[in-house]
Amino acid sequence: MLAATPSVIVKQGEAMPATAIILAAGLGTRMKSALPKTLHKIAGRSMLRHLLSSCESVFDRIVVVLGPDMDSVRKEAAPHVCVVQHERLGTAHAALQAVAHFGDGDVAILYADNPLIRTETLRAVLRRDAPLGLLAFRPADAARYGRVVTDGGFVERIVEWADASTDERAIGLCAAGVMCASAADMTRWLRAVKADNAKGEYYLTDTVALARAEGARVVAVEAPADEVAGVNSRVELAAAEAVLQGWLRTAAMDAGVTMIDPGSVFLSADTAFEPDVTIEPNVIFGAGVSVARGAVIRAHSHLEGCSVGPDCIVGPFARLRPGTVLGHGVHIGNFVEVKASVLSAGVKASHLTYLGDASVGEDTNIGAGTITCNYDGVFKHRTTIGARAFIGSDVALVAPVTVGDDASIAAGSVITEDVAPGALALARGRQVQKPGRATEIRAALRAKKKGAG
């Protein structure tokens, strides 16, 4: 997790600290899930963590407002301060639960189900030229978003969809939810909000009318719709995933990564590439993957929690699981799975192999069908293979076991004891041949079949 980065906002000639209040108390009933809404993931990272990451680059204090019995959300928000909204009486009421943490500078109130707001957008609303600023956007379908009513370029009020007239519902400018003001102003306006609306709730958006009643100007900072569209359902979660994947793919290609079919490649928020990486179609990157310069990830491969070294070739149809480290020029072929293993430079495992809890030395060749038998039903055990070893096809290495440098293992062997450096190990039954016996058996079977007919 990124550490919170101190930030100050310059306003009227003096440096002011900035505080973010993130509202995360909603039940998210439209998600139809036992998991709190803000913990649903986009590109391998929770919605809350996405927003926290952006806020950590802008604000010097972050406070998360939770509902009761939301310990999992509290854990995700760590190390930031959390407060509890014991009664869900609306967004203004939720923000008031954090008033003791507002401080003396600017306060921005955000929603945890707006996970894709970028740091540049947050800074823009903090740089507003008015006592109250808010984020607004123009979605293709305004749906049930609150409408922003303006006059002469300034915001007059926000009207919730449920309370809006037909004319107001025709307005295309919608409220994104983010509000920003000085701590003193925000506190005063929040405390003045009334629950005189269709839902009987305390709306954060009512602070606009309260500010205007005092003669204070309110400005709307327009943000791209993709950044501020809310996520309240599985459909909207998928839409946010598509947006973020597009951003991640573009960023990777701008940094020197070749994607043959970008739309079929799925990245995690923390996927790290060096330049001159090539990714073929239908590749999935889980969390915690780094890929070094010159590597090629071939089609239909799945990687998570692993490090791919320079000039490696992975796939097609390969799986790299957590704890895998590939050295320079390693080749992992089709239908090869590697887990919690370190493969040194030049290792080749070209097909139909499982390497789990293993260390493999430089320039070793792993034959087709090789498996490390690492689990005894209770404990995991490690296999160590030296440099320049040759492991024949269809070999089972029963861990814990060590194969020395320059050793060879004959095809079809089951290795249960250590193999010395330079030795040839054979562990299979001796072949027995009975001339003519196969012909006799087939003839007897055919006769039996004919008699049965």
Domain ranges of the chain: 8-228, 234-425
* pLDDT reading at 4 higher than 70: no
CA within 13 Å, CB half, 121: 24
Model confidence band, residue 1 (pLDDT cutoffs 50, 70, 90): very low
Better-scored residue on pLDDT, 205 or 357? 357
Q: For residue 14, what pLDDT is reported?
A: 39
pLDDT tens for each residue of 41-72: 999 999 999 999 999 999 999 999 999 999 99
Q: For residue 419, what pLDDT is reported?
A: 98
pLDDT tens for each residue of 7-20: 333 333 333 479 99
Q: Which of 42-56, 136-150, 180-194, 293-307 has the lowest mean pLDDT?
A: 136-150
* pLDDT reading at 355 higher than 60: yes
Residue of 101, 300, 351, 381 marked active site: 351
Q: For residue 58, what pLDDT is reported?
A: 94
CATH superfamily of this structure's domain 234-425:
Hexapeptide repeat proteins (2.160.10.10)
Question: Do 8-228 and 234-425 fold alike per CATH?
Answer: no
Q: For residue 13, what pLDDT is reported?
A: 37
pLDDT tens for each residue of 225-237: 999 988 999 999 9
Average pLDDT over the chain, rounded to an integer: 93
d(CA 238, CA 417): 51
The verdict on whether 86 is a catalytic residue reads no
* pLDDT reading at 91 higher than 70: yes
Topology (CATH level 3) of domain 8-228: Spore Coat Polysaccharide Biosynthesis Protein SpsA; Chain A (3.90.550)
Model confidence band, residue 440 (pLDDT cutoffs 50, 70, 90): very high
pLDDT tens for each residue of 242-289: 999 999 999 999 999 999 999 999 999 999 999 999 999 999 999 999
Token digits for 265?
């490649």
